[in-house]
Structure 1
Amino acid sequence: MVTTGLDPAGWAPKPVRVAYALTLARTAVELVGWVLGSFVITPTRGAELREELGPSEALLQLGASGGVLVALSGLWLLGAYRMRAGRPWARIVLALAGALCALWLLNNTTMSGFDVSLAAERSHEVLAIAAAALLCLPAANAHFTSHRAQPTC
C-alpha cells in the first residue's frame, strides 16, 4: 500500500478531526464576515472608506485588506491540512494562533465589554480557540507523535 501523507478518512483521532473542521469553519466565518462587513451590513466599511478617502483610495484599501485576508486564510487552511496529516509543526502553529486569538479576544472584551455583537463579530476567534484546545488533548498526542518518525513532504 502506498501512503500519500494524507489523512485517510477516519484515521485521525476525533479531537484532530473536530479541530480540522473547526479550523475550516473559522476560515469560512472570517471570510464571510469580511464580505458582509465590507459590502452588506450597514454602515459598511466600504461606504465609510469612500467617505473618508474617496472612491479610488477606498477600493485600493478594500483590495489590500481582502488580499491580506485571503493570504492569511490560505495559511490557516495549509496549517489545518498539515495538522490533519499529523505534522507536529502545524499543531504547534495552530495552537499558538489559537492562544493569540484568546489573548486578542480577552483584550477586546476587557476594553469594550461583552455584548452579543462582539460575540458574533469575534466568532472566528472562538472557533480558533476551540480548535487549539482540542489539539492539546491527550487523545491527539498519538496522532502527532506517530508522524515524527516519518519523513515530511
Structure 2
Amino acid sequence: MAEVLFYHMTESRLEDALPDLLERSLARGWRVVVQFVTEERRDALDHHLWVYKDDGFLPHGSDAEGSAALQPVVLTIEPTQESNEPHVRFLVEGATPLSLERYVRAVYLFDGHDGEQIARARERWAAEKAAGHAVTYWQQTEDRRWVKKA
C-alpha cells in the first residue's frame, strides 16, 4: 500500500509549492512522475521548473519530449506514464491515477480556492482510504508551512 498525502494549498500556487516537494523527493533518491489534467498546465510547469530559482534548476522532462525514461521527474497527462519507474506520483489539477499500488508515495496537491479541486480531493480521499492506503491531510499555514491536520 502507498502512503498517500493530500496537500491543501491555501497560501501558495502550484508553481510555488510543487518545486520544493519535488526537490524533497529527489533528495530521498526517488524518481517521480507528476500527472496533470491539461497539456497547457504541464507545459507551463515544464518551463517553470527550469527557471524558478536563480541558483539552479530541477532536472526533469515532459513525456511530450520522448526521453521520459531517462528523467528523474517526468511531467505527464497520462495516468499510465511510468517509463522512468517512479517511486512517487504527484497528482495536480484534480488528476486521477489508475492505481497507486506500485508507489511508495502518492501526493495530491489541490488549490484551496478552487471548489472543483476541493471536491475532487475529497472524492480521492475516500477512494484511497477505502483502497487501504495510509492517507494524511496537510494544510498550509499563513507562512506557507505544511501542518498535518489528519
Bucket of the pairwise TM-score, normalised by the shorter protein: under 0.3
Q: Which protein has the bigger helix share?
A: 1
CA radius of gyration, larger in: 1
With structure 2 as the length reference, what TM-score do the two structures score? 0.27
Q: Which protein has the bigger strand share?
A: 2
With structure 1 as the length reference, what TM-score do the two structures score? 0.27
